Amino acid sequence: MIKEKLFKYLTLTAALCSVVFLFGIIFSIFKEGYSIFAEVGFFKFIFGRSWHPTHYPPEFGILPLIVSSILVTAGALLVSVPLGVGSAIYISELAHPKGKEILKPIVELLAGVPSVIYGLFGMAFLGPFISRVFGLPVGLNALNASIILGVMVVPIISSISEDALNLVPRQLIEASYALGANKWETIIRVILPAAKSGVISSIVLGFGRAIGETMVVLMVAGGATSIPRSIFRPVRPMTSAIAAEMGETTMGSSHLHALFGIAIVLFVITFISNLITEWVMRNRGKNGA
């Protein structure tokens, strides 16, 4: 009895510490970043087209950073969604049991590779390749970052989508075969629609993972602080701006507060994506797979 109570209070303490730490982080970010909205103005900060924090007078418009983040993340999803969902379908429904034992760990192993390794690959191999193929002066651009991020997000989408596919009742699949449908028709018209909430959740989680990645975009996105006109232009997403410029600021400066303001915007975007995922998963729990 004493051991059970001790275990209960230890786990409760751990849970409360997690909540306290989370709210402490949120409070510190908003405390440091709120002043930039009062100084510059909300709309001018969010929709300003010039990010030149070291100029005189400084310009704190983060629209180029937001557009760059959305462009790179959208490109990453274009790469990761077909690969992730496709691999989940193959592993769940088409692969031989022995092949599944090999493929599933390989896909999940991608999640364990450090992001700096992906960044080095993008700089040393993918960047020069893109430069040669498209005739660009430099291969560090939004396309490079999108491809690398897409590969990084594949394990998340694949793993969660596969779990959703495995939860589809076998009665539905057997009924489809009984009505004369082949394997492909059953996957497209029965299994995927039945597992759509789980697949959507995996994509939303992949979006949150991609838009919050720092090291890769810092290394391979190019670092240009202008609104990109194409995916072949160098860009600077919000995360790379924070990582690259935080060491150049002084305590209490407007530049520092602006970087925390970017962190607030990034936090809100990822928080909304997590809420969407939670809402989808709750509906999935109510309505089944």
Identify whether 2 is part of a domain: no
What's the total number of domains in the chain?
1
- Is 139 a member of any domain? yes
Asked whether residue 190 is domain-assigned, the answer is yes
Phi and psi at 140, nearest 5°, equal -90, 100
Residue 289 pLDDT exceeds 60: no
> Averaged over 113-120, what is the pLDDT?
90
> Tokens 């589809």 label which residue?
168
**Average pLDDT of the chain, as a whole number:** 87
Beta carbons within 8 Å of 206's beta carbon, 6+ residues apart = 76, 77, 80, 81, 84, 153, 156, 157
Domain that holds residue 232: 8-287
The pLDDT assigned to 41 comes to: 86
pLDDT band at 143 (very low <50, low <70, confident <90, very high): very high
Enter the tokens of residue 133.
Answer: 């193929």
Determine the pLDDT at residue 146. 94
How far apart, in whole angstroms, are the C-alpha atoms of residue 84 and residue 79? 9
Higher pLDDT, 8 or 216: 216
| Predicted confidence (pLDDT) at residue 288 exceeds the cutoff of 70 | no
CB-CB neighbours of 141 under 10 Å: 25
Question: Percent of the chain, pLDDT > 70?
Answer: 97
Nearest partner of 225 among 196, 259, 186, judged by Cα: 259
Rounded to a whole number of angstroms, the distance between the first and last alpha carbons of the chain is 39
pLDDT digits (tens, 9 = 90+) for 237-246: 999 999 888 8
**1 occurs within a structural domain:** no
The confidence score (pLDDT) of residue 285 equals 55
The domain spanning residue 67 has which CATH number? 1.10.3720.10
The answer to the question of residue 26 being in a domain is: yes
pLDDT digits (tens, 9 = 90+) for 14-60: 889 988 998 888 888 888 888 888 888 888 999 988 888 888 888 88
| Three-class secondary structure of residue 289 per DSSP | coil
Report the Cα 1 to chain-centroid distance in Å.
44
This prediction's pTM: 0.87
Answer yes or no: is 198 within a domain.
yes
Residue 235's DSSP bridge partners are: 222
- pLDDT of 131 reads 92
Give how far Cα 171 sits from Cα of 94, 181, 182, 219, Å.
Answer: 18, 14, 15, 49
- Looking at the domain assignment, is residue 3 inside a domain? no
